[in-house]
Chains A and B, each alone.
Chain A
């Protein structure tokens, strides 16, 4: 085919360091660098990454040993062959860097993959640069081909370091949890998960089950706060036919269904007192008595309980049994609220943006600087769930490729959750809305925040019929702050 279009051939014998041009064997040399000339091919072979020199038709002239090893081709095979047929990279076929290079352009670097002679798909990075003669005229191309398998592997390891199953985080708080989870999953003790709403209690419960020896057994979830007391009892413990009106057949309870698996009791703090004693009996005896039955059923079930309530307080208020509390509180895991997970907000934003972009078939470039600042400053009372919902809303609404503040839910600006001190760029003195965690302020400025603040003041004044006292209260500011801001923005 296109092989050897010039009259260049290669000495096919044992010498790969000599190129034959016509009937003459030549060995390219580097002169004047050292006292004696140095072989150019020998020097190339010392380079640890793949190097190839192409002519203007992108046919291979020289390839070093690293690249020969990577591609599996030998000197006599590749000389004079178009590089796309030897390198066999997806870049060569779709986005050949040499095609977009001229005398004056700098090196171009693209990542892709190649299939070598051993039929392996190898991720690579190709850097292509022009080779000019002394007159500045391009005579060929110099390409380096790096095997980036190790880098990819490290990337994977690094990304795994930030998650455990589906839970994502790299804050010290989450790292502690990731370290505890595997050993915690392996034990068979009861687990109590606490934390605010949206912190991921359900996900952690499922992860504990999946990483435990009971993973092949069922994971049964029941919300203790969602059902009336009598129904909940029947759901948890089951009933016998005729136990009550409407009990037309035997029904196994959730505990029975979770046999050899895990039972996840969410909102355990809302479990009625009468059922607390029954659950306590089960935890002690590992035996359940369905409604209307006098015969107990043994059930080997691991209990994972969760609540967003303060159980100690409920115990003190006599709304939760102390003995049940002691039995459940064998291993306690507190999931930190998002506002205390330093560095995780950005990670989660990236994660959800990526996943919703794929799910909704949108090619999002990311968040604008203003949007990012708003989202990084928001306190997220609904924690990760709220953050996920905000990103889902924004990706749904956004028609552009970048999410801007106008694509965010309007309540972000209206509820006063945004810490003004952290985002106000033009404020002479820091002022802040009442937030759940007012100490946790950040100093990131927000472009055009002044416009948002101005609009908020105007809206508050309109709503209160111009009464500054009421407007200041609705904004969560002191009257003097409102007066100062009005003066600053020229609102009369």
Chain B
């Protein structure tokens, strides 16, 4: 099922290779609704997996698309009922496009 709010950690225009080292994230809202997508890039004060998890929870994110993520954070997010599609390699744009098409799977190289 397509969620209404997703987050993608960024490294330039690509999905960041490491969740814990990302200093920018793309937050996309309005997915699955009739209205246009609302893309927002949030610059983090410093790279930290804990802070990113906190942001994901407070922003009420439903899906995280990322690449390398440590198991502790993966388990924590899934425990919080957040869908995590990890090991995705490619540009954030194509990852988002594939996600919206409903064909993005973990380990996908775009």
Q: Which residues of A contact B (CB under 8 A)?
A: 1, 3, 77, 81, 84-86, 88, 90, 92-94, 114-121
Q: Are A90 and B18 in contact (CB under 8 A)?
A: yes
13 contacts between A and B (CB under 8 A): A1-B14, A1-B89, A1-B91, A3-B109, A84-B17, A88-B67, A88-B68, A93-B11, A115-B19, A115-B20, A115-B69, A117-B87, A120-B70
Asked if B48 is at the interface of the complex by the 8 Å CB criterion, the answer is no
Q: What number of A-B contacts does a CB cutoff of 8 Å give?
A: 52
6 smallest A-B Cβ distances: which pairs?
A: A115-B68, A119-B71, A88-B68, A1-B90, A85-B89, A88-B17
Which residues of B lie under 8 Å from residue A85 when comparing CB positions? Answer: 14, 17, 67, 89
B94 CB within 8 Å of chain A: yes
**In whole angstroms, how far apart are the Cα atoms of A217 and B19 in the complex?**
44
Give the chain B neighbours of A81 by CB distance below 8 A.
89, 109
CB pair B18–A93 under 8 Å, yes or no, is yes
Describe A's contact surface by its main secondary structure: mixed
Chain B 17-31: CB-based contact to A (< 8 A → 1; otherwise 0): 111110000000000
- Most chain A CB within 10 A, of B68, B90, B107, is at B68
Choose one: B86, B91, B94; the contact of A119 (CB below 8 Å).
B86
* CB-defined contacts of B55 to chain A, threshold 8 Å: none
Cα distance A121–B69 when bound, in Å?
Answer: 9
Chain B residues near A (Cβ < 8 Å): 11, 14, 17-21, 67-71, 74, 86-87, 89-91, 94, 107, 109-110
Cα A90 to Cα B23 with chains together (Å): 13
- A27 CB to nearest B CB, Å: 24
Beyond A1-B89, A3-B109, A115-B68, 7 extra complex contacts between A and B, CB < 8 Å: A1-B94, A1-B110, A77-B107, A88-B17, A88-B68, A115-B69, A121-B70
The docked-state distance in angstroms from the alpha carbon of A84 to that of B11 is 10
Nearest B residue (CB) for A121? B70
> Are B70 and A77 in contact (CB-based, < 8 A)?
no
In the complex the two chains form, is A117's CB within 8 Å of B21's CB?
no
State how many angstroms separate the Cβ of A72 from the closest Cβ of chain B.
8
B109 touches A117 (CB 8 A): no
- A1, chain B: closest CB distance, angstroms: 4
Query: Contacts A1-B94, A81-B89 hold; do A120 and B18 have CB atoms under 8 A apart?
Result: no
CB of A92 within 8 A of CB of B110, answer no
Enumerate chain A residues within 8 angstroms of B11, measured Cβ to Cβ. Answer: 84, 93
Closest to A116 in B: B68
Separation of A266 and B21 alpha carbons in the complex (Å): 51
**Chain B residue with Cβ nearest A94:** B21
- Residues on A with C-beta less than 8 A from B90 are 1
Report chain A residues within 8 Å CB of B20: 115
- Which residues of A lie under 8 Å from residue B109 when comparing CB positions? 1, 3, 77, 81
